[in-house]
Amino acid sequence: MEKSPHRPHADVQSALRLSVENLAVSRGGRPVLAGVSFALSGGEALVVTGRNGAGKSTLLRTLAGLLPRAAGEMRLEGAGEEAELPQQAHYLAHADGMKAALSLEENLEFWSFYLSPAADPRARTIAEALAVVGLSFASRAPFGALSAGQKRRAALARLLVAFRPVWLLDEPLTALDKVSREKFAAVMRDHCAKGGLIVAATHEPLGLEEAGELALGGAK
């Protein structure tokens, strides 16, 4: 199960490193993950694959600090003083994490402040993030009035309005059309080019051709 993804951007010299060793996680008293090990550095991406129920979401939730480990180690190095992985990571789940009655702008204002209360030059403004995901025209619309793909694009904008070096993405392309998929692939490549790292669970190609792959088979 161990996999070492190769470097998509050899020129990126980043001290950022995420290492996971012998991770085991149980859910509902049943082992879901066992012996999961991988390591990746700034500039790299890891694509997590596996059948339904293999434990992809479980792995991401564990990395995000939302599920306890039964065994194993997870370490993030080189991210600065506040080096705890959950505080350094954006976690994009299946759910979009937005309030239906608030406008897109209001939702992103909340996330920007919540995720990064201090101004950070590496973060995009809300207007910039909405432009990147092609939703400038809907900034005042209530989130609940958006289409499924527009909602997902809004959720992706959340990754941009606060800077976090680690992106944990669960099926990020769900409901996105072809153009939006290509745009988001470029956003992910840009994040890696700037020294960030990505762990993404997916059933379909993400457009990160040089990413490593971790194929989960589920715990025996």
Ligand X SMILES: Nc1ncnc2c1ncn2[C@@H]1O[C@H](COP(=O)(O)OP(=O)(O)OP(=O)(O)O)[C@@H](O)[C@H]1O
Quote the least distance from Cβ 54 to ligand X, whole Å: 4
Q: How many CB atoms lie within 10 A of CB 211?
A: 25
Nearest to ligand X of 75, 94 (CB atom): 94
57 in contact with ligand X (CB under 6 A): yes
Burial 122-136 (b: 16+ CB within 10 A, else e): ebbebeebbebbebe
Quote the least distance from Cβ 139 to ligand X, whole Å: 31
144 in contact with ligand X (CB under 6 A): no
Nearest to ligand X of 43, 55 (CB atom): 55
Q: What share of the chain is helix, strand, coil (3-state, %, to 5)?
A: 30, 25, 45
What is the DSSP pairing of strand 45-49 with strand 197-201?
Answer: parallel
Cα–Cα distances (Å) from 66 to 31, 99, 145, in that order, read 16, 21, 29
172 in contact with ligand X (CB under 6 A): no
What mask, x for binding ligand X by CB under 6 A, covers residues 17 to 56? ----------xx---x-----------------x-xxxxx
Task: Provide the binding-site residues for ligand X, judged by CB under 6 A.
Answer: 27-28, 32, 50, 52-58
